[in-house]
Amino acid sequence: MPSCLPRPIAVEPLVEGLPSIPHRPSLSLPQTLRLGLFQACLGCLAVIFSGLLNRVMLTELGFPGLLVGISLAFEQFVAPSRVLFGQISDAHPLARRHRVPYVLLGTALFCGIAVIAVPIIFRVGQVLQQGSPGAIALAVLALGALFAGYGLAISLATTPYLALVIDRTSEEERSRAVGVIWCMLSVGIVVGAILISLSLRSLDGIRDPRLLEPTLSAFMVKVAIGVMGLTVIATWGMESPADSPGLSQEGGREDGVTLRQAWTLIRSSSQVLIFFSFLILFTLALFLQDPVLESYGAQVFGMPIAATAQLNAFWGVGTLIGLLVAGLWIVPWLGKLATARLGCQLIALSLLLLLLSGITANVPTLQLVMVLFGLAAGIGTNGALCLMLDLTLPEVAGTFVGVWGLAQALSRALGKVIGGGLLDLGNLLSASGLLPRSVGSYPAFALVLGIELLVAIAALLMLQRVNVRQFRQDTGQSLAKVLTAEWS
């Protein structure tokens, strides 16, 4: 992987007399791969929660698309907690460690929630069909609470995890580590899709909840146990009590940087808002179709559960290739900003092809388009990640990781709500005759994909305003003032 990271804003040149940031133990390639196991687990669970459970709720249980979108979005509505969790991880160690205990605690929580998700979803399905208005309202609230709790647990685990990657790597090493770890995320997506296909093949064509629930529940228990075990393996020995990252007076960190002071750093540059907006649009351009993709395959292409789950595998393979190609060749050739721009252009083209593929309803064409879409996503993601690290202060890594994670999570939330809502709107317009009904459900899905295409173009336009040099200048001066106040 090429170097695509910022030069850390040194404390000494900004404020004379402040202590330096200590040397961090480097990550070897085997250690990086092991640490990436956690990211692979997240990819696997993303396929299950955003793909499998979404499809089951929409297609097998007949949930309204808007309800599914809003429920899934609750996972992201709690995204502001990422900033808080990042600052807490920066400032308050558990067992004298700033990162790993939070990662393990969050993982234990979201694995437990994953196990209870299936029975709750099926109970909600029963209430929607047979319950009174009051019971339906309570069931909907329970569904939202389920995904909100899952989102909080994910935020608690992932924000310190990404900060740990920054803590454990130097400027020269970090790009390789990030590239490997994000490739592991794509590997997890592919593995998750394959696991679903192999484990749930017996459910093809089955819609009876009494047959679906026990099989899905047993599958989820196995996944949760595997994820927890792999997370322990991934983080074991990655952080010792002596590894105090970031700003420190004893061992390397200043625990006195408060949430208010972190907020001052965040607001110190207009580039934070510009890049925040770009990340929202960019992520929305990748995931607006996410809540309806498998139903698109089912209703327009006539694909069974196992086949629609494999769409994520095709997307994941393309993303993995895109990440590697961009990291090894495109970024060194074009640069970070140009790579992100190319990725946005290719994403827009892929969405156009995804929209047009529904006209023929040819399954191999859809699969090919998903590979191309993944390739575009990988290239764009590599460029965006490099820019994200350029726009992160290593001295308060957890806080800035939380901010960028908030942008991505908010866009995922908007994607779920808008995607499901647009599908319902498209179906309503088709039923009223405002969209053609002679081609089945395709027009409703075309509406979703068309809006997503416009969002990708908007992300490309916002990218033109990103200026890394301005960010470094603004936040560097603000950091110096904060540290001067803390150490005076």
Q: Give the pLDDT confidence of 41-89 residue by residue, as tens digits.
A: 998 888 887 777 877 888 778 788 778 877 877 887 787 888 888 878 8
The distance of Cα 68 from the centroid of its chain, to the nearest Å, equals 18
Report yes or no: 24 and 168 within 8 Å, Cβ to Cβ: yes
Half-sphere exposure of 191 (CA within 13 A, CB side): 17
Taking the C-alpha atoms of residue 379 and residue 375, their distance in angstroms, rounded to an integer, is 6
Report yes or no: 471 and 271 within 8 Å, Cβ to Cβ: yes
At residue 80, the pLDDT reads 80
Assign 70 to helix, strand or coil.
helix
Q: CB-based contacts of 287: which residues, under 8 Å, 6+ apart?
A: 411, 412, 415, 416, 419
Percent of the chain with pLDDT over 90: 23
Torsion of CA 325, 326, 332, 334, to 10 degrees: 120
- For each of the domains in the chain, give its residue range(s) and CATH number, in order of start: 27-242+256-487 (1.20.1250.20)
At residue 398, the pLDDT reads 66
Closest CA to 155 of 393, 386, 398: 398
Q: Where are the alpha helices (DSSP H) in 49-169?
A: 53-55, 65-77, 81-91, 100-130, 133-167
Q: What is the pLDDT of residues 295-327, one digit of tens each?
A: 899 888 988 877 887 887 788 789 888 888 887
Closest CA to 182 of 344, 341, 386: 386
Taking the C-alpha atoms of residue 428 and residue 441, their distance in angstroms, rounded to an integer, is 11
Low-confidence spans in the chain with pLDDT less than 50: 1-23, 242-256, 487-488
Closest CA to 115 of 141, 164, 149, 156: 149
Q: What is the pLDDT of residues 344-399, one digit of tens each?
A: 999 999 999 999 999 988 999 999 999 999 999 989 988 888 787 777 766 666 66
At residue 72, the pLDDT reads 77
Q: Where are the alpha helices (DSSP H) in 361-441?
A: 363-390, 397-431
Residue bearing tokens 């808002």: 273
CB atoms closer than 10 angstroms to residue 147: 25
